[in-house]
Amino acid sequence: MQTDILIIGGGASGLTAAISAKDARPDARVCVIESLPRCGKKLLATGNGRCNLMNVNARAEDYAGNAAFISPALKAYMDRYESFWERLGLSLMQEEGGRVYPACNQASTVLDVLRLALADRGITEITELEARALRPDASGFTVETNKSSIHTKKVILASGSSAGRALGENDSFRKLLAPLGHTFTPVYPALTYLTVPRECVAGLNGVRLRGEIALLEGESELARETGEILFRDGALSGIAAMQLSLVAAGRKNLYARLSPLAENAYEILNRRRSAFSGREAAYLTAGCVNRLIALLALKRSGISPAVRAGDISDMQLKTLARELSDWRVPISGTGDFANAQVMLGGADTAQFDAGTLESLCARGLYACGELLNVTGPCGGYNLGWAWASGMRAGRSAAFSL
Ligand SMILES: Cc1cc2nc3c(=O)[nH]c(=O)nc-3n(C[C@H](O)[C@H](O)[C@H](O)COP(=O)(O)OP(=O)(O)OC[C@H]3O[C@@H](n4cnc5c(N)ncnc54)[C@H](O)[C@@H]3O)c2cc1C
């Protein structure tokens, strides 16, 4: 098979690259190959099925990666995203914090408009075809797949990462790029839960806490988030904890600091000790701290929940106040790739032209999406990068034909 532009990977960035390439050069033959039975499978799971497709506040500096590399593609996308999605027929709505969703609140509509755009433009889509090797030659590249080989003038690698793949590894980017001389930064699962010793959160599975969570390395604070923390068996999840996984990845000697009773904990407990002196200790926090979290704090403070509040000593009360305002939970690691939303790290962006996303190791090869060492926080930043880089890679490949 022969084509002009071959896109490897039919995910968010690959589908955008295909549409952008065809729009820039309607006469070019554009083909997308996808190893799974259908394109865009991951998109359906994004944003809990709602697809938080971008963030209007996204700036290059918000991403882990080289801001100077990220900026040109991101800026170009931010300048034209409204017309891009409007042309595809997708209505958008904006929520708190600049998060953008499809107006009908369904991730499937995003995939629908992308696939319709492919069909309308005559872009070839081949599924269950996996690229296994890339060989540059005088007129382009020969791409070896699990079934046949394809010759193409330009190739766009949009194969994503292993993140969110319950089916196992997807390190195509490494297998395809390494033989061409590309190098990689260390990769970690990110935007995933933090693992903690089970006993530290025993009995809290399913409990939600709204508030602050700080990430400490020894005594120094590395990062802090405010939002929802969801307790799991041996894990801290929820958006606030997941954001911290971006910083926690690959580090040791970490603690999460939680503050279920943040301000004036001792004063509050002291007042309540007088008010509820004849009641059991559990009354000290009833109504202001989740009962299960409070029971665990009493246990750590060495206070029996059955003891009368009035019998609790000042020293014990201070310990309890500390356990509720400065609760340290050791972090043993982060979730694995199957449970991560993104991969932190990836193909070294120093080996790609920031203006075109063309490889500096193999001319005619472009890359986009998550396989590059560009990772954003929760809130639409990663899909934002996928569209932005897909658009840029597609247009660059088309203009270079
Ligand atoms: C559960 C979950 C929820 C998420 N929610 C959000 C959200 O709401 N907002 C947000 O901004 N981000 C979210 N993300 C992250 C976001 O989905 C990704 O960053 C984005 O999809 C990356 O796009 P991509 O095109 O680089 O890779 P992908 O979307 O992963 O696409 C890559 C495609 O390439 C295919 N492929 C791989 N290797 C080959 C090969 N050798 N040959 C052919 N095909 C191949 C893969 O099967 C895949 O379909 C979420 C991620 C997960 C897992």
Nearest atom of ligand 1 to the alpha carbon of 107: 8
Same domain, 156 and 304: no
Does the pLDDT of residue 169 top 70, yes or no? no
For residues 210 and 289, state if they share a domain: no
Q: What is the pLDDT of residues 23-62, one digit of tens each?
A: 999 999 999 999 999 999 999 999 999 999 999 999 999 9
Work out the mean pLDDT of the chain and round it to a whole number: 96
Cα–Cα distance for residue pair 343/363, rounded to 1 Å: 26
Q: Return phi, psi of residue 146, to 5°.
A: -70, -15
- 25 shares its domain with 169: yes
Q: Residue 256 and residue 213: Cα distance in Å, rounded?
A: 6
Note down the domain range covering 312: 265-325
pLDDT bucket at 168, cuts 50 / 70 / 90: low
Measured in Å, residue 12 CA sits from the centre of ligand 1 at: 6
Q: Which amino acid is at 46?
A: T
pLDDT digits (tens, 9 = 90+) for 341-359: 999 999 999 999 999 999 9
Query: Measured between alpha carbons, how far is 151 from 267 in angstroms, rounded to an integer?
Result: 73
42 lines ligand 1 (CB under 6 A): yes
| pLDDT value, residue 349 | 98
Longest dimension (CA), the chain: 87
Q: What's the mean pLDDT in 300-306?
A: 94
The pLDDT, as a whole number, for residue 167 is 58
What pLDDT score does 282 carry?
Answer: 85
Q: Is 14 in the pocket of ligand 1 (CB under 6 A)?
A: yes
pLDDT at 283 over 90: no
Paired residues of 235 in beta bridges: 195, 232
Average pLDDT over residues 111-123: 98
Ligand 1 near 102 CB (within 6 A) = no
Does one domain contain both 150 and 13?
yes
Assign 311 a pLDDT band (cuts: 50, 70, 90): very high
Domain limit, last residue, from 309, 334, 359: 334
Indicate whether 223 pLDDT > 80: yes
CATH number, domain containing residue 253: 2.40.30
Say yes or no: 343 and 382 in one domain: yes
Ligand 1 neighbour 238 (Cβ under 6 A):
no
Q: Are strands 333-334 and 235-237 parallel, antiparallel or unpaired?
A: unpaired
Instruction: Specify whether 239 is located in the same domain as 314.
Output: no
209: CA distance to ligand 1 center in Å? 29
DSSP character at residue 97: G
Mutate to test the pocket of ligand 1, among 129, 148, 341, 349 (most ligand atoms within 8 A of CB): 341
SS3 of residue 381 by DSSP: helix
Enumerate the β-bridge partners of residue 93. 101
| Spacing, Cα 142 to ligand 1 middle (Å) | 24
Same domain, 23 and 167: yes
pLDDT of residue 265: 94
Q: What is the pLDDT of residues 233-250, one digit of tens each?
A: 999 999 999 999 999 998
Whether residues 278 and 358 fall in one domain: no
Question: How many angstroms separate the alpha carbon of residue 56 from the centre of ligand 1?
Answer: 20
Confidence of residue 19 (pLDDT cuts 50, 70, 90): very high
Which parts of 52-106 fold into alpha helices (H)? 67-88
Do residue 105 and residue 23 come from a single domain? yes
DSSP-assigned letters across all residues of 263-292: SSHHHHHHHHHHHTTTSBGGGGTTTTS-HH
Q: Residue 379, SS3?
A: coil
Assess whether 104 and 158 both reside in one domain: yes
Amino acid 287: pLDDT: 87
163 within ligand 1 shell (Cβ under 6 A):
yes
The full DSSP string for 335-372 is --GGG-SEEE--B-GGGB-TTT-BBSSSTTEEE-GGGB
Please count the structural domains in the chain: 3
Q: Which atom of ligand 1 is nearest to the CA of 390?
A: 25
What DSSP assignment string belongs to 171-185? Answer: -HHHHHHGGGT--B-
92-97 long-range CB contacts below 8 Å, 24 or more apart? Answer: 92/53, 94/56, 97/55, 97/57, 97/379
Which CATH number belongs to the domain containing residue 316 in this structure?
1.10.8.50
Query: What's the 139 CA to ligand 1 centre distance in angstroms?
Result: 30
- Over 90: is that where the pLDDT of 125 sits? yes
Q: Flag whether the pTM goes above 0.85.
A: yes
Look at residues 325, 347, 367 and tell me which one is the last residue of a structural domain. 325
Q: What is the 3-state secondary structure (H, E, C) of 305-343?
A: CCCEHHHCCHHHHHHHHHHHHCEEEEECEECCHHHCCEE
**Same domain as 83, residue 205:** no
* Ligand 1 atom closest to residue 11's alpha carbon, by position in its atom list: 31
DSSP state of 29: -
Closest C-alpha to ligand 1, atom 22: 370
341 CA → ligand 1 middle, Å: 9
Mapped onto helix, strand or coil, the DSSP state of residue 54 is strand
The one-letter amino acid code at 254 reads: L
17 and 83 part of one domain = yes
pLDDT band at residue 129 under the 50/70/90 scheme: very high
Last residue of a domain, one of 296, 325, 354: 325
Q: Work out the pLDDT band at 328, boundaries 50, 70, 90.
A: very high
Cβ of 333 below 6 Å from ligand 1: no
Q: What is the CATH number of the domain that holds 23?
A: 3.50.50.60
